[in-house]
Amino acid sequence: MVFKALNPLLGLKLLIAYPGKAAALLGAIVLTITGAEALYADMGHFGRRYISRPGPISFARDCFLNYFGQGAHALAHPEETNANPFFALAPPGPAQLALVVLSIAAGIIAAKPSFPGTYSLTRQAIQLGFFPG
């Protein structure tokens, strides 16, 4: 049932039937894509070996399997509609604490490229006279 998500016609039906919820969903997808893009853009800080692995296993495939696993878990446990599917995959206790730490670290790492970008844009705006310096 999870693989039905790959059918573009079902996505179109979702857009037509629930435009507000579909917009929020598309926003989440864009955030996911920009997070992955930020990770790849910041490869100079981490090095290639932490992001890509030899063979058929890759970062993109891992993300794909993770999101489909979350979808399968949500379908198998409809009573957990208010639970975060990422954290629901781990049993309560130390495993969930590890996921919280991992999520915080990922958020910090993902935000890291925005600081030099903001500095660069502000500096250029000052040099062009569009921002007080």
Rounded Cα distance, 122 and 125, in Å: 5
77 and 122 in a single domain? The answer is no
Structure-token pair, residue 53 = 């692995």
pLDDT in tens, the chain (133 residues): 777 878 889 888 988 999 888 888 888 777 777 666 665 555 555 555 555 555 555 666 677 777 788 788 888 888 877 777 777 777 888 888 888 888 888 777 767 666 777 777 788 888 888 877 6
14 and 70 in a single domain? The answer is yes
73 and 103 in a single domain? The answer is no
Q: What is the pTM of this model?
A: 0.43
pLDDT at 46: 52
49 and 111 in a single domain? The answer is no
The tally of domains found in the chain comes to: 2
75 and 25 in a single domain? The answer is yes
95 and 51 in a single domain? The answer is no
Rounded Cα distance, 132 and 126, in Å: 6
72 and 44 in a single domain? The answer is yes
14 and 33 in a single domain? The answer is yes
| Full residue range of the structural domain in which residue 10 is found | 1-83
pLDDT at 44: 53
pLDDT at 16: 92
